[in-house]
Amino acid sequence: MTYWRLHYHLIWATFERQSTLTPEREKIFFSIVYQKAKELDLKVHAAGAVEDHVHVVLSIPPKRSVAECLKHIKGASSFAINNMPGSDGEFKWQEGYGALSIGERSLPDVMAYAANQKQHHADHSLVTVYEKLEEE
């Protein structure tokens, strides 16, 4: 058996940062994250969202790449959202993502940050590095 501890904080946005992640779509998104995690042998530690982007804290086994996992999660979630009752079929994610590796000691703090996205955005207590989606 292989021993591994590979934790990531992943951030990605809706297309053109549009505020299209409604509460109904958010529920579908979270269900797909957990479904895909089970299929891909990932461990979801925390997830949070606001109207234009999401944060997911995952442990990814070394047999999988971050890009592969994101491809599956983003693809399956946009498909599910576009096929939910009453959908206009126009939901999509922006290309790319932010990916940060996390050490064991930082994991609880990053989990809390991701899970409490709505509060962090409401009271402007954002951590800049955790909100980045691309290099400057």
For residue 26, give Cα distances in angstroms to 29, 54, 87, 135. Answer: 5, 9, 13, 27
Q: Give me the pLDDT at residue 68, please.
A: 97
Segments forming the whole domain that contains residue 27: 7-131
Residue 94 lies in a domain: yes
**pLDDT at residue 77, rounded to an integer:** 98
Residues in the chain with pLDDT values less than 70: 132-136
Dist. CA 24–CA 28, nearest whole Å: 7
Q: 93 near 71, Cβ under 8 Å?
A: no
Name which of 11, 15, 3, 5 is nearest 81 in CA terms. 15
Q: How many domains does the chain have?
A: 1
